[in-house]
Homo-oligomer: A and B are copies of this chain.
Amino acid sequence: MSPFPPAGGEAELEEGDVFTPRFDADGLIGCITLDAKDGTVLMFAHMNAEALRLTLDTGIAHYWSRSRQKLWRKGDTSGQQQKIVEIRTDCDQDVLLMKVVPGGDGGACHTGRRSCFYRTVRLGPGATKLGFEAPGA
Contact = CB atoms under 8 A, between A and B. Distances in A.
Contacts of A30: 30, 44
Copy number in the complex reads 2
Given A32-B41, A41-B32, A44-B95, A86 B14 contact: no
A119 B56 contact: no
Interface in A94-137: 95-97, 109-111, 113, 116-125, 127-132
**A contact residues, range:** 35 or more
Given A44-B95, A56-B127, A88 B17 contact: no
Interface of A: 14-19, 30, 32, 34, 39-41, 43-44, 56-57, 59, 84, 86-91, 95-97, 109-111, 113, 116-125, 127-132
